[in-house]
Amino acid sequence: MLLKAKNLKTFAEGKKIVIINEADLHNFGTRIPTRLKISYKDKTITAIPNVTETLVEKGYIGLYEEVSSVLKVKDGEELDVDLAPFPESLTYIKKKLKGKKLEYEEFYKIVKDVIDGNLTEAEIAGFVVGLHVFGLDLNEAASLTIAMVETGEKLELTKKVVLDKHSIGGGIGDKTSMLLVPIIASLGYAIPKTSSRAITSPAGTADKVETIMPVNLSIEEMKRVVEKTNGCLVWGGALHLAPADDIFIKVEYPLEIDPLLFPSIMAKKKAVGATHLVIDIPTGRGAKIKTIGDAQILAKDFITLGSLLNIKVNAAITYGEQPIGYSIGAGLEAKEALEILMRRKVVEDQIDKVTSIAGILLEMVGKKNGKELAMKILESGEAEKKFREIIEAQGGNPSIKPEDIPIGKYTYDFVAEEDGFVIWMDNGGFASLARAAGSPIFKGAGVLLYKKVGDVVKKGEKVFTIYAESESKLEDALKVLKEETIIGIGKKRKMLIERIEDSQIAKKRFILER
Amino acid sequence: MLLKAKNLKTFAEGKKIVIINEADLHNFGTRIPTRLKISYKDKTITAIPNVTETLVEKGYIGLYEEVSSVLKVKDGEELDVDLAPFPESLTYIKKKLKGKKLEYEEFYKIVKDVIDGNLTEAEIAGFVVGLHVFGLDLNEAASLTIAMVETGEKLELTKKVVLDKHSIGGGIGDKTSMLLVPIIASLGYAIPKTSSRAITSPAGTADKVETIMPVNLSIEEMKRVVEKTNGCLVWGGALHLAPADDIFIKVEYPLEIDPLLFPSIMAKKKAVGATHLVIDIPTGRGAKIKTIGDAQILAKDFITLGSLLNIKVNAAITYGEQPIGYSIGAGLEAKEALEILMRRKVVEDQIDKVTSIAGILLEMVGKKNGKELAMKILESGEAEKKFREIIEAQGGNPSIKPEDIPIGKYTYDFVAEEDGFVIWMDNGGFASLARAAGSPIFKGAGVLLYKKVGDVVKKGEKVFTIYAESESKLEDALKVLKEETIIGIGKKRKMLIERIEDSQIAKKRFILER
């Protein structure tokens, strides 16, 4: 059936939707057309039809932006619209739902159909839940990884040794990537770092870097920056590296399941051509991984999967029981990172973490005493110089100073109620606090710490300050502070953390950052 | 945030969608508002937001019909729009996805949120797939059944003994309900029969009955008809009996899973107040259930579940290896049913089936020789009289004759290529054929049989006729006939059904009718 295009300039979170008039519906000779095949010139797309009495006239088809952006058709031009066949990949999803293993070709068909919009949200959920329930072995993980890589863009650099680092998430206040990239790049190695924005954390690396320089680069721009400076710090979301992941994650997040942890991480690394990779596994009560044993199992699987994908992987199990450094929130963290690079501040745990990871990477490519070498680069100012080169190459102001980064004007100081020590800090609690204050949407929002675990605190002394960009957001944060105990201060051997009086539903934090 | 309503008169298959201008999005202070809470006067609804540049202006919120029909707000009136909290029921869906059993209260919260639009398609899919993978025991099935009943409308009749029948599907050409209702009703028992439209079959009972009388009754109208005539034959889809099922089914259909078989059937029976129920289980190669053993297990579970729900259940395992009677397709089947009631035709298998099931029901409420009694009512013309009463009460023409039902004018006769017997018939193949010819959308489309399994056929003799309402649909049907072998004709001991030469993907038929 021929219908005229009407671009609706409307978005549905990546879902491909079209709207047809109910008068045209009958022509399809079926009650519920689950999906329509829409062709324009040499392009064909599958979309989910909504039906209207008035929004789109008879003879027209309204296109959501997710459809418009693929077809690139002008209003009034004719489209060929037909019933779409049931996608073949549904057969493989059903196979997974029977608990069977899938082959590469089967994963490929599924991932391709996910990207092409041939599968509905419910069908994609069927796949993701199937993976969650029945699991996927490392061969399947490798197949799915490659399928995700092959259905997206790829970065191809001149240098054939490409270093990379990835944190599986859960460590808050972590500025490692912002410091690692200039250290590695200034030693002459390529490190094309892509990062995500926050999902459940107060700020993703992309959110932080964005307060200093543009991060929404295209893959061509990213390539230019890396070829010039050896490094980059860009947002992965606009690059179409393993783009299926962005669709899978929308199913995983509400259901709090994460079956694609391995393929998701490794596909993005494979897509930028990484040859040597350190996986950072923050471990401890407040992190995603709670025990060293669990971290070791995860590390082993990453290493094996890496070898199936031709990526040399080492893992770094890192301390994850409190925030890293003294700041939480996009602007505050960016500021601290810049201060470290400028040697205005010595933030011991953060510096130890980045030089440890840099050291592992350097030793993986044959350098000796990697950690010391990384420290030297940081202390000499070479890392700062490289960082400013990258800022300039990405289109930012290379002379930026820490005080140029805007921080919220509405503040609240949390003071100690008694003398003692900081006995524990709750990552999840600090994350809730920073998010309530407006992070990551309001980049000046967050928390600045003055004390860390083990520090002596006097009654009335400031322990941390909350920053917000509006009165109302500050109030939201204060509500969290009132409801949750996020820090333990007291005598060194004070043992009680919380008294539970009724069998309430426990608040559990799900960390999807990966 | 206050936004003005704009009713869009647009439908999304039951999904509650609103469209807001991107300029208003920022005010929510979050990147992805998964769902919005929208209040108008005393009504509150949760909806999924799409975002537009042009379709809806700043300060307005566009409402899909699924939202408009609940809020009943005029264009330009103000609505209170806010971020919706994560629904509590997600906790229980996640619990099922961990393989745990759910309690009644938990099922209730899930079902309520499904109906209220508080869960996304992916989250609902998570629940349904969780049930599919981990199963649900009979106590859980009973809890889910009651939750589905309690979240919908209920029929409350004066009579306290209420008979009902349900076929789990797979028997094509089955006119049992159309014949059973008048037989039972004319004996003075209430039988408030609701039926579905076809999903995967050529015609549902509602599709068939609709060629004779209106079936889109409200629950009040249904009550009036039953109080007057003891019976009815209405479409269940508009009655809001266990309405969650209509939403679950949209997930189950593409994934070809059916974990809600028990709760779905039993909830609709409980909602009309059934006290005595016969479950018809068509069994055989061409049906949903393939073996007697499987049918017995299913029967046992229905009976146990019935006792948990206070419904006395018997099961009837019936022969399901070929179409029932001689017609397939809405109009053709309705015509045959009317001819049987008018005693113009003696269709042995169909009459045996309906009198057997009627007999079981009658014996369950204390009658003796149920089958003979049912046969007497049919043969005496009392059933026809009652059927015409019901037609009149539902607003149809009580004097309707079989020849008044319109049948497609485009026909093709399938003739035997050799002398012999009908050795086998494939239900799935005949279903495909009738659907290709246009059934159930085009009610005059279908297949009329002249021969059944065991009948002698001469070379050149007509075996069946295909009916379609258009040339192109007839061609579609002929394509199916060319591609599939749906009937075996030959010498009595001819054994080969099909020769397979390559390892193609087998066509498997999924039957969701239930």
Per-residue pLDDT tens over the stretch A229-247: 999 999 998 899 999 998 8
State the CB neighbour count (10 A cutoff) for residue A126: 30
Query: Token pair for residue B420?
Result: 């012999």
Residue range A89-135 in CATH 1.20.970.10 = yes
Q: Could you give the 3-state DSSP secondary structure of residue A198?
A: coil
| b/e sequence B338-364, b meaning 16+ C-beta within 10 Å | bbbbeeebebebbbebbbbbbbbbbeb
Report the alpha-carbon distance of residue A57 to residue A3 in Å, rounded: 10
> How far does the CA of residue B32 sit from the closest CA of chain A (Å)?
8
Distance from CA of A22 to the nearest CA of B (A): 9
Contact A126 B255 (CB under 8 A): yes
8 Å CB contact of B55 and A86:
no
β-strand partners of B329: none
Band (A253; pLDDT cuts 50, 70, 90): confident
Distance CA A338, CA A334 (A): 6
Check if the beta carbon of residue B453 is closer than 8 Å to that of residue B488: no
Q: Could you give the residue numbers annotated as active site of A? A: 258
Residue from B321, B281, B329 nearest B449 by CA: B329
A13 confidence band (pLDDT: 50, 70, 90) = confident
Place of tokens 């190695």: A189
Instruction: Report which of residues A48 and B227 the model is more confident about.
Output: B227
pLDDT value at residue A116 = 86
- pLDDT for res A118: 87
H/E element, A69: helix A65-71
SS3 letters for B93-138? HHHHHCCCCCCHHHHHHHHHHHHHCCCCHHHHHHHHHHHHHHCCCH
Between CA A163 and CA A387 the distance in angstroms is 17
Residue B358: strand, helix, or coil: helix
CB contact under 8 A, A8 and B64: no
How is domain B163-241+252-402 classified at the architecture level of CATH?
Answer: 3-Layer(aba) Sandwich (3.40)
Percent of chain B with pLDDT over 70: 95
B273 CA to centre of own chain = 19
CATH number of A407-490: 3.90.1170.30
Coil, helix or strand at residue A72: coil
Q: Could you give the CA distance from residue B408 to residue B113 in angstroms, rounded to a whole number?
A: 44
Which whole number is the average pLDDT over B440-469? 95
Reported ipTM: 0.75
Instruction: Identify which of A249, A250, A273, A268 has the alpha carbon closest to the alpha carbon of residue A260.
Output: A249
A10: nearest CA partner in chain B: B52
Q: How far is CA A307 from the centre of its chain?
A: 24
Mean pLDDT calculated for residue range A84-105:
92
CA distance A191 to A165: 9
CA distance B435 to chain A (A): 10
Looking at chain A, which residue has its C-alpha nearest residue B506? A91
Residue from A1, A6, A13, A89 to probe the interface with B (highest B Cβ count within 10 Å): A13
Which residues are B281's β-sheet partners? B317
> Would you give the DSSP letter of residue A506?
P
**A491 band by pLDDT with thresholds 50, 70 and 90:** confident
- Inspect the interface and report whether the beta carbons of A254 and B86 lie closer than 8 Å: yes
Q: Tell me the two tokens of residue A185.
A: 């790049």
Q: Is the pLDDT of residue A506 over 60?
A: no
pLDDT at B27 over 80: no
Mean pLDDT of A144-165: 97
Nearest to B334 by CA among B387, B413, B273, B265: B387
Chain A hits for B207, Cβ within 8 Å:
none
The alpha carbon of residue A201 and the mean position of all alpha carbons in its chain are separated, in whole angstroms, by: 9
Tokens 């020849």 — which residue? Answer: B403
Low-confidence winner among A160-174, A302-316, B19-33, B387-401 (lowest mean pLDDT):
B19-33
Substitution target from B7, B11, B60, B96 for chain A, most A beta carbons within 10 A: B11
Which candidate from B32, B94, B505 shows the least CB-CB separation from A13? B32
Query: For A18-44, what is the mean pLDDT?
Result: 82
Alpha-carbon span B183 to B230, nearest angstrom: 10
Q: What is the mean pLDDT of residues A115-144?
A: 93
Query: What is the dihedral angle through the alpha carbons of A167, A170, A173, A177, rounded to the nearest 10 degrees?
Result: 10
Give the pair of three-digit tokens for residue B36.
Answer: 């919005």
Q: How far apart are the first and last CA of chain A?
A: 45
Which residue is it, tokens 């012999």?
A: B420
pLDDT score of A342: 98
According to the model, what pLDDT value does residue B373 have? 98
Q: What is the reported pLDDT for A513?
A: 67
Taking an 8 Å cut-off on Cβ atoms, the answer to whether A97 and B132 are in contact is yes
Percentage with pLDDT > 70 across chain A: 95
- Asked if A122 and B251 come within 8 Å (Cβ–Cβ), the reply is yes
Q: How confident is the model at residue A498 (pLDDT cuts 50, 70, 90)?
A: low
- How many C-beta neighbours within 10 Å does residue B455 have? 13
Q: For residues A303-318, give the mean pLDDT.
A: 95
Comparing CA positions, the residue from A462, A352, A474 lying closest to residue A416 is: A462
- B258 part of the active site: yes
DSSP assignment of A116-143 equals HT-S-HHHHHHHHHHHHHH---HHHHHH
Average pLDDT, chain A: 92
Q: What CATH number has the domain spanning B2-83?
A: 2.40.40.20
Res. A279 pLDDT band, cuts 50 70 90: very high
The count of CB pairs under 8 A between chains A and B is 150
Predicted local confidence at residue B31, as pLDDT:
62
Let me know: does A63 contact A5? Beta carbons within 8 Å: yes
C-alpha–C-alpha distance, residues A167 and A267, integer Å: 14
Question: What are the angstrom distances between the C-alpha of B343 and each of A348, B350, B384, B448?
Answer: 95, 13, 9, 19
Residue of B16, B121, B200, B475 best to disrupt the A interface, most CBs of A under 10 A: B121
Pick the CATH number of A163-402 from 3.40.1350.10, 3.40.1030.10, 3.60.15.10, 3.40.50.300: 3.40.1030.10
DSSP-assigned beta bridge partners for residue A415:
A462
- Residue B30: band (very low, low, confident or very high) from pLDDT cuts 50, 70, 90: low
pLDDT at A28 over 80: no
- pLDDT at A302 exceeding the cut of 90: yes
Which range, A24-28, A375-379, B116-120, is most confident?
A375-379
**Mean pLDDT, residues B27-43:** 79
CA distances from A112 to A40, A45, A104, A125, B152 (A): 20, 12, 12, 15, 40
pLDDT of residue B503: 57
The DSSP symbol for B86 reads P
Q: Mean pLDDT across the stretch B175-204?
A: 95
Q: Which region among A30-39, A87-96, A458-467, B444-453 has the lowest average model confidence (pLDDT)?
A: A30-39
Look at A90 and B255 and tell me if their CB atoms are within 8 Å. Answer: yes
Average pLDDT estimate for A113-133? 92
Long-range contacts of B13-16 (CB under 8 A, 24+ apart): B13/A32, B13/A50, B13/B250, B14/B66, B14/B246, B14/B247, B14/B250, B15/B48, B15/B64, B15/B66, B15/B117, B15/B121, B16/B45, B16/B46, B16/B47, B16/B48, B16/B64, B16/B66, B16/B67, B16/B70, B16/B117
Tell me the pLDDT of chain B averaged across its residues.
92
In this prediction, residue B127 has a pLDDT band, given cuts at 50, 70 and 90, of very high
C-alpha to C-alpha distances, B383 to A34, B179, B188, B497, nearest whole angstrom: 40, 8, 12, 42
Reported as a single tens digit per residue, the pLDDT across B378-421 is 999 999 999 999 999 999 999 999 999 999 999 999 999 999 99
Tokens, residue B314: 């018997």
Residue with tokens 């209106």: B214
φ/ψ of B154, rounded to 5, equals: -130, 145
Rounded-to-integer distance, Cα B136 and Cα B257, Å: 14
CB-closest option in A52, A120, A254 to B8:
A52
Bridge partners, residue A327, by sequence? A448
CA distance B111 to B102: 12
Alpha-carbon distance A476 to A481, whole Å?
A: 9
Question: Smallest Cα–Cα separation from B259: which of A129, A76, A443?
Answer: A129
Q: Which range, of A249-253, B418-422, B447-451, averages the lowest pLDDT?
A: A249-253
Which tens digits make up the pLDDT trace of A350-381? 999 999 999 999 999 999 999 999 999 999 99
Alpha-helical runs (H) found in A309-451 = 330-341, 348-364, 370-379, 382-393, 427-436
| pLDDT tens per residue across span A411-457 | 999 999 999 999 899 998 999 999 999 999 899 999 999 999 989 99
| Residue extents of the structural domains in chain B | 2-83, 89-135, 163-241+252-402, 408-490
Q: Rounded to an integer, what distance in angstroms lies between the CA atom of residue B189 and that of residue A239? A: 68
Look at the block and give the residue holding tokens 């990552």: A427
Chain A residues in contact with B12 (beta carbon < 8 A) = 50-51
CATH code assigned to B408-490: 3.90.1170.30
Chain B residue nearest residue A85, CA to CA? B254
- CA torsion sign for B371, B374, B380, B384 is negative
Q: Which of B69, B129, B249, B472 to mutate to test the interface with A (most CBs of A within 10 A)?
A: B129
Amino acid at position A29, single letter: G
Residues from chain B that touch A197, judged by Cβ atoms under 8 A, are 31
- B50/B35 Cα distance (integer angstroms): 10
Of A29, A197, A441, Cβ closest to residue B438: A29
The catalytic position among B207, B258, B301, B426 is: B258
Query: For residue A317, what are the contacts with CB-CB under 8 A and spacing of at least 6?
Result: A281, A283, A292, A295, A296, A299
